[in-house]
Structures are given as structure tokens and as C-alpha cells.
């Protein structure tokens, strides 16, 4: 149990490190990959719903702590996201990599769209502007990063197997 908690804390710390140190470095015109959502989807699909939900809640609380007015919003959306991904995974076959990539793409798009819709109110102009940049582009960019992560994780597994 202690090992599990330590492992979980390590994942959160790694995600924060990636978010603060590297995400801004690889950002393209302020569009940066959302490592928290990748991990929510990864934990929900490969570990368990509990882990996905707890990670979603914790990372959401941490992420939205920078903006007190929206404190709790990201956590709420990530918990819903983890649950939705789990429901879909029980009904559809999401074991293949393309399916997982589509899940990441839709998850980021859904999370960001609802987030900005609530953050900016029903201001259509603003939402449309933000939708293109921070919803669609960020979803695509996050998916591209996921492709790289999947590639490296599978390569590592192959190397382990060959050894």
C-alpha cells in the first residue's frame, strides 16, 4: 500500500516537473501538451479507474490552484473525464494504440472546451478563438506527444523482451 502511494506521488511529481520545466520549453505559441490528461487516460486504461480518478482529482486541484476563481473546475472535469474514459473502455475495445490516441485527442478537446466555456462564460467570439488554438491545437499537440511516449514505452518493452 505504501509502495503504491509512493509510486502515485512520484507520478504526480514527475507530471508537475514535466508541466513546469518542459511543457513551456516545447510550447508552440503557448500551445503546450497536457501531460496531466495523458496520465489520467493512461492510468484509467491501464491501471484502474480508482487511480485515474484520484490522479485526475489531485492533478486538477494542483493545476487550478494558480487561478483561485476556477479552483476545483479542472479537478471536476478530470474526474468526469476519467469516469467517461472508463465507461467507454468497458463498451468499446480501446486496447489498440490508435484507439488510445483518439481517446487522448477527444479527452483534451472535451476538457479544454468545457474549461474555457466556463472560464470565459458564454462569450462566443472568445470561445471560438480559444477553441481553435487551445482546444483543437492543444488536443492535436498532446496526441502527438502521446504518440512519442507510446513509441518509447513500446521500444523499451521490446528491448527488455530481447534482453
Partner 1 sequence: MIANLRKTLEENKDLGLAVLLAALSLILLILPLNLKQPLAKYTHLVTLSPFQGAAQNLKNLVATSQTNKWLRSQLEESRLQVAFAREALEQNKRLRDSLDFLERKNYVLISAEMQTIDPKRRDNAILVAVRNSAVVAVDRAVVSLYGLVGKTTNVLGNTITVELLTSPNCRVAARDQNTRALGIIRWERGQNLLLDNVPLRDSINVGDTVISSGLGGLFPVGLPIGVIEKIDIPKRGFFKRITVRPFVNFNRLDEVFILKEMED
Q: What share of the chain is helix, strand, coil (3-state, %, to 5)?
A: 85, 0, 15
Out of 29, 68, 96, 161, point to the residue binding partner 1 (CB under 8 A).
68
Rg of the chain in Å (alpha carbons): 16
Phi, psi (rounded to 5 degrees) for 19: -60, -45
Positive or negative CA dihedral for 71, 110, 140, 116? negative
Residue among 98, 130, 100 nearest 38 (CA):
100
Does 117 engage in binding with partner 1 (CB under 8 A)?
no
Does 9 engage in binding with partner 1 (CB under 8 A)?
no
Residues contacting partner 1: total by CB under 8 A? 33
Nearer to partner 1, 36 or 141 (CB): 36
> Per-residue string for binding with partner 1, 20-59, x by CB under 8 A?
xx--x-----------------------xxx--xx-xx--
Does 83 engage in binding with partner 1 (CB under 8 A)?
yes
Only one of the segments 33-41, 69-77, 93-101, 109-117 lies at the binding site for partner 1 (rule: CB under 8 A); that segment is 69-77
**73 in Cβ contact with 30 (< 8 Å):** no
**28 in Cβ contact with 72 (< 8 Å):** no
Out of 8, 31, 47, 70, point to the residue binding partner 1 (CB under 8 A).
70
Q: Could you list the residues that contact partner 1 (CB under 8 A)?
A: 16-17, 19-21, 24, 48-50, 53-54, 56-57, 60-62, 64-73, 75-76, 79-80, 82-83, 86
Amino acid at each position: 500500500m505504501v509502495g503504491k502511494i509512493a509510486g502515485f506521488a512520484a507520478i504526480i511529481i514527475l507530471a508537475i516537473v514535466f508541466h513546469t520545466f518542459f511543457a513551456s520549453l516545447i510550447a508552440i505559441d503557448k500551445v503546450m501538451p497536457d501531460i496531466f490528461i495523458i496520465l489520467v487516460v493512461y492510468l484509467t486504461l491501464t491501471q484502474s479507474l480508482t487511480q485515474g480518478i484520484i490522479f485526475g482529482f489531485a492533478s486538477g486541484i494542483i493545476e487550478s490552484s494558480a487561478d483561485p476563481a476556477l479552483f476545483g473546475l479542472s479537478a471536476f472535469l478530470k474526474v468526469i473525464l476519467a469516469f467517461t474514459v472508463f465507461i467507454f473502455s468497458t463498451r468499446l475495445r480501446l486496447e489498440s494504440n490508435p484507439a488510445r490516441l483518439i481517446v487522448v485527442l477527444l479527452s483534451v478537446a472535451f476538457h479544454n472546451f468545457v474549461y474555457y466555456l466556463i472560464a470565459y462564460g458564454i462569450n462566443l467570439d472568445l470561445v471560438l478563438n480559444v477553441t481553435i488554438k487551445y482546444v483543437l491545437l492543444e488536443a492535436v499537440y498532446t496526441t502527438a506527444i502521446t504518440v512519442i511516449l507510446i513509441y518509447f514505452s513500446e521500444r523499451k518493452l521490446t528491448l527488455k523482451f530481447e534482453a
